[in-house]
Amino acid sequence: MKLKSVIIAFIIAGTILSCATNPFTGKQTMALVPNSQLFPTAFQQYSQFLTENKVIKGTADATMVASVGQKIAVAAERWLNANGNEGYLKDYKWEYNLVDDKTVNAWAMPGGKVVVYSGILPIANGEAGLAAILGHEIAHALANHGQQRMSAGMLQQIAAVGLNVALNDNKNLQLYNQAFGIGTEVGVMLPFSRSNETEADTIGLYLMAIAGYNPDEAAKLWERMSAQSGGQAPPEILSTHPSNASRIANLKALAPKAKEEAKKFGVTSFK
């Protein structure tokens, strides 16, 4: 069996086993780990993280993080309800915390647990930039990207075991496994991750607009991110994320559509 055939089988298996629908895109997604199991585990890990890190409370920045995050979550609920997905967020338990850390990062766990590192706030440069960051991270949680990544990883492992059984060649097994690992990582897993990032950019842009924040600020945020990084990044094909240039171009192209979507919810002016 050729490596290419195994990779194709891996992709087909992922499609066949898809059993959830992304309400924002209508696409079928992999969901081998149900949210009923995933969310409690994520909540526990989040609580553990907070005990091990310095959480900033009671400051203007901490208040801003919680306020902007909640506005994005409300915008998501409005959009979901308007598009026939009432109750989609019933198991989400939103929480937003600012952590004292110079790392330029923010993230959201399955089920709505969000962390913003203080190091990203200067690049956010205010509420609108922070809304672009939180819109993106919250979109990951809403679209169940964590669930999808776990499912894809499980399928990758299953396919690797299947390859070993099918080949039955102990002499060259290590070589085959290395080739399979590289092939599936570059050909399947990394493109999958980049597509999740682009999807989160798109959903997040719409949500920030519905929440009243100017979607034009998202591209400006990534211009600042690019400047902060000094242009240092791996080639897009070897990265989990789209290149900054691709991301900025995509956000600029989508901003007018996000404004039009916001008008449906009576939002015609933006912060």
Which amino acid is present at 176? Y
What are the residue numbers of the active site?
A: 137
Q: Using CA atoms, how far apart are residues 69 and 139, in angstroms rounded to an integer?
A: 11
How many residues are there in the chain? 271
Q: Cα(218)–Cα(132) distance, rounded to whole angstroms? A: 5
Look at residues 188, 186, 197, 189 and name the one whose alpha carbon lies nearest to residue 250: 197
Which DSSP string corresponds to 7-41?
HHHHHHHHHHT--EE-TTT--EE--SS-HHHHHHH
- Helix count (H) and strand count (E) of the chain? 10, 6
Strands 95-99 and 113-117: parallel
Strand order in the sheet with 106-109: 55-56, 95-99, 113-117, 106-109
In a 3-state reduction of DSSP, which class is residue 185? Answer: helix
Instruction: State the Cα–Cα distance between residues 46 and 55, nearest whole angstrom.
Output: 12
